[in-house]
Amino acid sequence: DFPVVIRKLGEKLQLVCGFRRCTALRKIGRNTVIAVVKELTDDEAYRLAWSENEARKSYTDLDRAHAVLKANRAGKTMKQLEKVFGKTRKQLTRWKMLAKLPEAVQEALAEGTISTTHAVVLHEMKVRYPSLDFSTWIKAVGEEGLSVQQLRNRITRAHAEERKPEPLVVERDGVLQFKVR
Q: What is the pLDDT of residues 92-125, one digit of tens each?
A: 999 889 999 999 999 999 899 999 999 999 999 9
Average pLDDT of the residues of the chain: 86
Could you please report the per-residue DSSP string of the chain? Answer: -PPEEEEEETTEEEEEE-HHHHHHHHHTT-----EEE----HHHHHHHHHHHHHHHT---HHHHHHHHHHHHHTT--HHHHHHHHT--HHHHHHHHHHHHS-HHHHHHHHHTSS-HHHHHHHHHHHHH-TT--HHHHHHHHHHH---HHHHHHHHHHHTGGGPPPPPSEEEETTEEEEPP-
pLDDT higher than 70, residue 30: yes
